[in-house]
């Protein structure tokens, strides 16, 4: 399957959220979605990114968008992350990479010479009709929320 591209329909999905309920991308038709993929709950970069979205949630929702985080962590891990960081948006659990792979986010990575599969920090903005309007690959956390806000028109 080809990786998603700007102007194309976003791959659909259904995942369990931090609230214990099933959530599908189609549930958000009529609303913009900031779908951000991150490697791991409670790690320094992921805390910084999540808290930046948390602190700017009003500005993002004012532009008609919902923020949804996706990682391979469990629902329980997400619930702890939300509680500890006081996050005000949904996190989805993709333990089997059923969304990470079609979105092209599950990649071979390398640390200290060791290769492994993991999440490449990426944000995808999806419009009200389900089409991708922006893809931010290999996200640099500093200033990223501002980039997202500028992209939401």
Q: Which residues are catalytic?
A: 46
Beta-carbon neighbour count of residue 140 at 10 Å?
10
Rg of the chain (C-alpha set) = 14
Would you say 61 and 152 are in contact if contact means Cβ atoms under 8 Å apart? Answer: no
Q: Which two tokens stand for residue 32?
A: 């913009």
Q: Are strands 114-119 and 132-136 parallel, antiparallel or unpaired?
A: unpaired
* Per-residue exposure over 119-134, b if at least 16 CB sit within 10 Å of its own CB, e if not: bbbbbbbbbeebebbb
Beta bridge partners of 92: 17, 70
Q: Which two tokens stand for residue 33?
A: 């979605």
């Amino acid at each position: 399957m080809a990786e998603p591209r700007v102007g194309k329909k976003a791959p659909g999905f259904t995942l369990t959220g931090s609230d214990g309920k099933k959530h599908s991308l189609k549930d958000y038709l009529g609303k913009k979605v900031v779908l951000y993929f991150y490697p791991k709950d409670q790690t320094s970069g992921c805390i910084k990114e999540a808290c930046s979205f948390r602190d700017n949630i009003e500005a993002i929702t004012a532009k008609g968008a919902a923020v949804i985080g996706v990682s391979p962590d469990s629902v329980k891990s997400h619930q702890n992350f939300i509680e500890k960081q006081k996050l005000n948006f949904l996190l989805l659990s993709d333990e089997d990479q059923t969304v990470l792979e079609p979105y092209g986010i599950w990649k071979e990575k390398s640390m200290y010479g060791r290769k492994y599969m993991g999440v490449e920090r990426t944000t995808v903005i999806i419009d009200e009709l389900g089409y991708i309007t922006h893809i931010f690959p290999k996200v640099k956390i500093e200033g990223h929320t501002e980039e997202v806000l500028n992209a939401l028109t």
